[in-house]
Amino acid sequence: MNKNQQILNEIFLRNKVKGKYKFDYNLSKYSWFGIGGNAEIFYIPSSLEELQLVLTAKEEGIDVTVIGLGSNIIIRDGGIPGLVIRLGNGFSNISHDKNIVFAGASVQDKVLSKYCLNNSIIGFEFYSGIPGSVGGAVCMNAGCFGSETKDVFIKAKCLSNQGELIEMNYSEELFSYRKNNFLDKYIVCEVQYNKEIGDPAIINQRMIEISDQRRDSQPQKVMTAGSTFKNPFGHSGSKAWQLIDKAGLRDYKLNGVSFSRKHANFIVNKQKDSANLIEDFGENIKQQVNSRLGVELEWEIKILGNR
Ligand SMILES: Cc1cc2nc3c(=O)[nH]c(=O)nc-3n(C[C@H](O)[C@H](O)[C@H](O)COP(=O)(O)OP(=O)(O)OC[C@H]3O[C@@H](n4cnc5c(N)ncnc54)[C@H](O)[C@@H]3O)c2cc1C
């Protein structure tokens, strides 16, 4: 065990944590690309209180990274230094009162969407097609088909990397296109959303439409992380896939990595040699799009860890 691992091991033992932890733990199964390096210290806390305790006890120099369902990340081969947190059952509550829907950060977006359908709550249909978690959605301002997380978000209970409990409230500046402008160094633990009652038949119909559209336009059952690059002009202007297509790169392949036949902005990974090859493919595409069209693509996928 190295020094960081000894420090955390001592904190885990001293506090008799109920959560799970491992050292030098491979994260391949926590990325939708099916490959990735190790976490120096991997921890699934059993509750917010326990996580707060561990973060408060930890030394400031130890990095903290949180991962959700891994549907929007590349974990580089060199692994993620410090403490890697994945929220599990201790953060999976879902409920509502008269005006608010509450969801723990580990709740799957599609579970939240189904829950809202079952309770005639409208506005959450778009989550039925997003394969991430509530925490990941707040981080990415996840959205599709004209709706985004910011449209339903009221506030989130978050912990700082030092264990300080804060409330992140909705404001105009909080979210932008596929981005939370204030989330660096915070872990989303629980989210509150606006509740609006609607007609379940309409909600259900909308969810069916979203599912049909996804089946037609996106690859299924492949190792992908959704849209690779942000649309460079946000919601208006050319989309990233159109630029990739226009640059003649739709069929480009490199070391077992290519774009989906169905969607030219979805990378499909077919190899198990290296997560870095996925990043290399994307960097190669960025460079070629820039030199051919003069447009700088920006990664939507988050790239974590060391090469
Ligand atoms: C087939 C497919 C289709 C997709 N379609 C869409 C789509 O239509 N619209 C869309 O917006 N996205 C889409 N995505 C991308 C992805 O599902 C979303 O970005 C999702 O919100 C990521 O959530 P996650 O839990 O998987 O997060 P991860 O991929 O694990 O992490 C993504 C980022 O969120 C951070 N994060 C995760 N949990 C927390 C937390 N609790 N607190 C703070 N930060 C956290 C991580 O540090 C990381 O920076 C798609 C992906 C796939 C594979």
Q: Which of 76, 86, 178, 206 is catalytic?
A: 178
pLDDT in tens, 116-159: 999 999 999 999 999 999 999 999 999 999 999 999 999 999 99
pLDDT score for 235: 64
Q: Is 209 left (phi over 0), alpha (psi -120 to 50) or beta?
A: alpha
H or E segment to which residue 241 belongs: helix 240-246
Ligand 1 centroid vs 85 CA: distance in angstroms? 15
pLDDT score for 59: 86
Q: Please give the model's pTM, rounded to 2 decimal places.
A: 0.97
The beta strand positions in the chain, using DSSP E, are 20-26, 38-44, 64-67, 73-75, 80-86, 94-96, 100-104, 143-144, 147-148, 153-160, 165-169, 175-176, 179-180, 186-194, 253-254, 257-259, 267-269, 302-304
- Ligand 1 pocket residue status of 104, Cβ below 6 Å: no
Q: Are strands 179-180 and 94-96 parallel, antiparallel or unpaired?
A: unpaired
Question: Which ranges in the chain belong to alpha helices (H)?
Answer: 3-14, 48-57, 109-118, 134-140, 200-217, 240-246, 276-293
For residues 59-79, give the mean pLDDT. 96
Residue 111 carries which DSSP code?
H
Ligand 1 centroid vs 74 CA: distance in angstroms? 11
Q: 304 and 74 in contact (C-beta within 8 Å)?
A: yes
Specify the residue with its C-alpha closest to ligand 1, atom 45. Answer: 136
Q: Percentage of residues in the chain with pLDDT exceeding 70?
A: 99
Ligand 1 centroid vs 301 CA: distance in angstroms? 8
pLDDT in tens, 249-295: 999 999 999 999 999 999 999 999 999 999 999 999 999 999 999 99
Ligand 1 centroid vs 67 CA: distance in angstroms? 9
Specify the residue with its C-alpha closest to ligand 1, atom 11. Answer: 142
Question: Is pLDDT above 80 for 113?
Answer: yes
The third-level CATH classification (topology) of the domain covering 240-304 is 3.90.78
Tell me which residue has tokens 């394969």.
131
Question: Is pLDDT above 80 for 237?
Answer: no
H or E segment to which residue 277 belongs: helix 276-293
Residue-range domain boundaries for the chain? 3-86, 92-215, 240-304
Catalytic: 190? no
Q: Phi and psi dihedrals of 247, rounded to 5?
A: -80, 0
The third-level CATH classification (topology) of the domain covering 3-86 is 3.30.43
Q: How confident is the model at residue 185 (pLDDT cuts 50, 70, 90)?
A: confident
- Ligand 1 pocket residue status of 136, Cβ below 6 Å: yes
Q: Kindly give the number of the ligand 1 atom that is closest to the alpha carbon of 143.
A: 11
How far is it, in rounded angstroms, from Cα 24 to Cα 11? 17
- Ligand 1 pocket residue status of 188, Cβ below 6 Å: yes
For residues 61-78, give the mean pLDDT. 97
- Ligand 1 pocket residue status of 147, Cβ below 6 Å: no
- Ligand 1 pocket residue status of 48, Cβ below 6 Å: no
Q: Kindly give the number of the ligand 1 atom that is closest to the alpha carbon of 158.
A: 42
Burial of 200 (0-12, 13-18, 19+ CB in 10 A): middle
User: Whole-number mean pLDDT of the chain?
Assistant: 96
- Ligand 1 pocket residue status of 142, Cβ below 6 Å: yes
Q: How confident is the model at residue 170 (pLDDT cuts 50, 70, 90)?
A: very high
Tell me which residue has tokens 């120096």.
40
Residues 6+ apart with CB under 8 A from 65: 80, 82, 83, 84, 85, 304, 305
- Ligand 1 pocket residue status of 194, Cβ below 6 Å: no
Class of domain 92-215: alpha beta
Specify the residue with its C-alpha closest to ligand 1, atom 12. Answer: 142
| 3-86 and 92-215 in the same fold | no
Question: Which ranges in 40-132 belong to alpha helices (H)?
Answer: 48-57, 109-118
For residues 50-66, give the mean pLDDT. 96
Among 48, 128, 140, 160, residue to substitute to test ligand 1 (most atoms within 8 Å of Cβ): 140
How far is it, in rounded angstroms, from Cα 219 to Cα 262? 6
Q: Which of 31, 128, 227, 260 is catalytic?
A: 227
Specify the residue with its C-alpha closest to ligand 1, atom 46. Answer: 67
Helix, strand, coil shares of the chain, percent, nearest 5, are: 30, 30, 40
